[in-house]
Each structure stands twice: as structure tokens, then as C-alpha cells.
A and B are shown apart, each in its own frame.
Chain A
């Protein structure tokens, strides 16, 4: 509980700092006044039209990916699993890259379209994986993983084949997209992402206890009266839905999905009804802070947020890894 409260406070703090910083500097008092509704007109514009949507998107992506990764690690019983390693990100990237290559569209193409393509790519990848992992007896965690890494390699290879033929501009655009950045930060994109998260997250929370049972192994879970295959499919769908919608808006931000669940596990123990909220807060915090750093360090240039996530998240996780058991 203390962990979660601490995380919430840290998130609020980083949101507040995020409000203050940017190319256009605002003092804390100005921010407070604007939030209160008594600020100046252009402060209002900066805060509510530019900074707030971006922060909201960072919060949502962090939560979505963290929960998605946690679920995947649970149903595959593999601590290295995350949406990226089984091919969701590569599938999304492949759709985006093919669009850029074959339809010869300029880089000024509507970002909205890229977002839809990425979403479809992610779902397509997941569909293929489930289809190939499915046999009469259902889907075993091991087969899910093996088929997942197979498709990940396949999509990656296809991406590489396209990348070597791209012109430098397209290549750079794709490289940044794959690294992951919150490139489309306005309220429209919040509206794309929000419904998915609002719909899927509560279901995931509601089902988090099932993960405890699934982790005991298929036969034990069956003995406890769980319909293992059905449960696994539902959880997988939740995870994929969350991951695909996050990839649609954030590109290839991947590390959160791996690391946030582990951070949470090492802070609050083994029960998923505690891990899941902690992981989702942890993911949000990680992403808001990373996005802040990504905007600031080389301002006015931006670093892809996905890269910052790894650079910020890795040291803390390695520290926890050395400190805690297991």
C-alpha cells in the first residue's frame, strides 16, 4: 500500500514538473493559476493543448504496456516475456514500414493512418501467433512462446529487408518510430487510446487473481476449477489489445512491458492483485518521467521516448535485481 501511495505521489510530482518544463517556460505559480482557471490565455493553450495530452498519453501507454507485459509473463510462465519479444511490436512495425515502402506515401501522411496501421499490425501478429500455437488440446504456454519468437524473427527479417531499400528519410522516420516516441500528442490520439485502456484495464484488474492460479500450472489450475484454455485466451486478448493500442500511439516503446511488472513484483511480492496496480502505476511513472527527459535533454530536439525508458529504467531495475531475492 505504501508503495502504491508513493508511486501516486511521484506520478503527481512528475506531472507537475512536466507542466512546468518545455520550450516555453512556465513558473510553478503560473501553472497553478492556469490550472485554477485564472491564468493567461496563451498559458492555457500551452498547458491544455500541448502538454496535457502528451502527459495523458504517456500515463496511458505506461499503464497499458505494464499490464500487458504482466499478463503475458503470467500466462506464458516466462519472466522474459513481453509484447515485444513475441512479435506484437515487430508486426506493427512491419505494417507501418510496408505502408511507407509500397504505397510511396510521403512523410507528411496523416499520423492517424499510421496509428491505425500499427494497431492492425499488432492484432494481426497476435492472431497469427495464436493460430499457429493452437492445436486440438489448446494452446500451451511453451508453444505460445516458441511460435511467438518465431514470428518475431520473421517480422524482424521482413522489416530488415524493407529497411535496406528505404531512402534515408524514410529510414530515419522508421527508426524513430521503432525506437518509440510519443509523436502524436494531441487530444485526438488521447481519444483513440483512452477507450481501449478504460475498457480493458478494469477487466484485467478484475481477472488479476486468475493469474495467481494459472501460474501454478495447467493441471493444478484445472483442479481448482479454472477453465484454463478459455481463461488463457481471454487474458491473452486483454494483453494484446492493450499492447496493440499502446503501440498505435507510442510506436515501439517496449521495455516498460518487461520491466514494470518485475519492478512491481520485487516491491510488493507475488500476488497479482497487488502486482497489477503497482505495475501499472510504475509503468505510468516510468513513461511520464522518461518523456519529460526525452523532451528536455537535447531540447529543442527530442530523443525517442522508448530509448529514454530503457536508459532510466534499466539502472533502477538492475539495482533492485541485485538487492532482492529470486
Chain B
């Protein structure tokens, strides 16, 4: 009997190891797909530039050629910002769903989107005519205020932050802030400008933005990976997690800060794209199960890939106009998501 059990365990172990290798391989394939989609994204647009030319411009840049300039100054930063934003939102979403243990949670529940909308609504109403970079900064500050309020309110109680309290406080504060934003934009009739700002998303991305985003998103992603293990334990419940020797308060605080770093920078660069932060973590979960050490890298990859592809869709669906990216992500992502949700 003991022998048989032993074999079973060994077989189990090999199976788990095999599955892990499969997942690593699949992830690497995904990474290649991301690379290809970045190249595609650079090549597609009003001026068709074929892939060899893209490669040439990236490797051997010649500022005299117009095509090289388009690649270098317009398309490449846009593609990179897309990938970074997608990664940031997806991982922030996974983190949020882990912290609140609620499948409905997304970075927007942390007050990120609403805080940024309110800040922008105020600026559009009272100090119009700000530059692009200033608006991004304002939006980021707004997100910080939103997250700060959510954290503060949900930690007021003697029990500290519980998942239910965090999600309810977050939802309530988000509704409050976005209602104020809507009120302001209706009163000053700036609603459509705001909508354009959101819908326009990453069209005007520059290398400046890439330079700003890279450190934030990298810190956020690395932090989330380091955190994934604790998050998996936390998702077993506060009591269990404490019993296993985790400092749950600390985890929740750090997790929320990571959500803010990732989602705050992503939202200020691209506007509130609801789909990625809410749906991509679920997709990652459908693929790799409940362990956040797998969910995080898969969410990052899927988020980046999805956002870059969607941004291609933005440009080719209705040229010469750009379709709002939120529309593209939802129209192409939701059917796929529904399929996954039904299968499970």
C-alpha cells in the first residue's frame, strides 16, 4: 500500500512539473506573439510600412527617411505605451480581485478611474486649455487622491481592512467621485470633451510617456510578482492566511499601493479602459487556475498583447478615424470572454 502511494506521489510530482513546463512554454510563445503584435502595430496605420522597413528603422535608424521617422517618433512609442498600459491594468485588476476576493473587483473600484475623472472634469471646467502632459499629471494626481480616500475610509474601522469593506468603500467612493465629475461636466457642458479625451486614449503617445511609464509599470509588475505568493495565501481567507503566519494588514497595504502604481499610471496615460482590468485577470485564471504566481505573469502578458492588438483595431476599423479603444476591447474581448465563462 505504502509503495503504491509513493508511486502516486511521484507521478503527481512529475505531472505537476510537466504542467509547469507547459505553462512556461505557453507563456514564452505568448511573449513572442506580443513581440510580433508590437511589430504589426508599428507597421499598420495611415501610411503602410512593411515589416522589413519597420525592422530596418528600429535597428538602423536613418533620420532622413520619412518612413523611419514615422516608425520612430509616432508608431513605436504608441505601441510600447499600449503594451505597458495593458500589462499594468491587467495585473492591477488581478491584484484587486485577489485583495477583495471578489470577481467584480477591478482597478476602478480602488478609486483610480473616478479620482482621475473628477480631477480632469475640474480642470476641463475651470482651467481649460492645459497641455497634454499637464493633463496626464492631473489625472495621475486625481487617481492618487481617489486611492488615498478608499484606503483611508476602509481602514477606519477597528477591524482594519476586510475584503468586503474594501470593495464596498471603494465602490461607494468611486460612485461618489464620478457622480461629482458627471455633475460638473453637465453643469459646465464639458462632458463631450471629456469623452473625447478618454476615447482618444493613446493616439498621441510620445517617448516622454514611455520614459515616464516604464519605471512605474516595471516597479509595479516586479512588486506584484514578488507578492503573488502572499496573495494566493490571502485568497484562502484572512483567518487561514494569518494562521499561516502572514501579516495580512501589511499585504493589503502593499497590494493597494501596487494597484495604485500600476493602474494610476496606466489610466493617466490611456484613460479608463474598463475591460482589461476586469476581464483579463479572469481569462488568466481560466488558463492557469487559482495560483497568483501563475496568474500575474499570464495577466501581464495577455493584458499587453490584448491592448496592442486592440490598438491596431482602433486604427484599421474605421479609417481615417480612430475607434475608441474601449469600444474595440469590449467588442472583440467580450465574446471571447463569454465563451470562456460558459466553458468553465
Contacts and interface: CB of A to CB of B under 8 A. Distances in A.
Interface residues of B, number: 52
Given A154-B334, A172-B189, A318-B153, A149 B104 contact: yes
Interface centre among B156, B176, B342, B344 (most CB of A within 10 A): B176
B179 A318 contact: no
A81 interface: yes
A176 interface: yes
A182 interface: no
B165 A161 contact: no
B192 A132 contact: no
B162 interface: yes
Contact of A146 (B103, B182, B195, B330): B103
B213 to A, nearest CB: 24
A321 B278 contact: no
B191 interface: yes
A234 interface: no
The secondary-structure label for the interface of chain A is helix
B182 A132 contact: no
A175 interface: yes
A151 to B, nearest CB: 7
B176 A311 contact: yes
B104 A160 contact: no
A232 B173 CA distance: 30
Contacts of A306: 179
B182 A179 contact: yes
B278 A149 contact: yes
Given A150-B279, A314-B176, A143 B342 contact: yes
Contacts of B279: 149-150, 153
Given A153-B274, A160-B324, A255 B331 contact: no
Contacts of A147: 338, 341-342
A164 B199 contact: yes
Contacts of B282: 146
A199 to B, nearest CB: 30
B341 A150 contact: yes
Interface centre among B165, B171, B342 (most CB of A within 10 A): B171
Interface in A142-160: 142-143, 145-147, 149-151, 153-154, 156-158, 160
A262 interface: yes
Contact of A132 (B103, B157, B169, B338): B338
A168 interface: yes
- Nearest 9 Cβ contacts at the A-B interface: A157-B330, A310-B179, A322-B156, A314-B176, A146-B341, A307-B179, A157-B327, A80-B104, A154-B334
Interface of A: 78-81, 85, 132-133, 135, 142-143, 145-147, 149-151, 153-154, 156-158, 160-161, 163-164, 166, 168, 171-172, 175-176, 179, 254-255, 258-259, 262, 298, 303-304, 306-307, 310-311, 314-315, 317-318, 321-326
24 contacts: A78-B102, A80-B105, A85-B104, A132-B342, A135-B342, A145-B103, A146-B337, A147-B338, A150-B279, A150-B334, A156-B330, A157-B330, A255-B179, A259-B172, A262-B168, A303-B183, A306-B179, A307-B182, A311-B183, A318-B153, A318-B169, A321-B157, A321-B165, A321-B169
Interface of B: 102-105, 109, 153-154, 156-157, 159, 162, 164-165, 167-169, 171-173, 175-176, 179-180, 182-183, 185-187, 189, 191-192, 195-196, 199, 274-275, 278-279, 282, 323-324, 326-327, 329-331, 334, 337-338, 341-342, 344
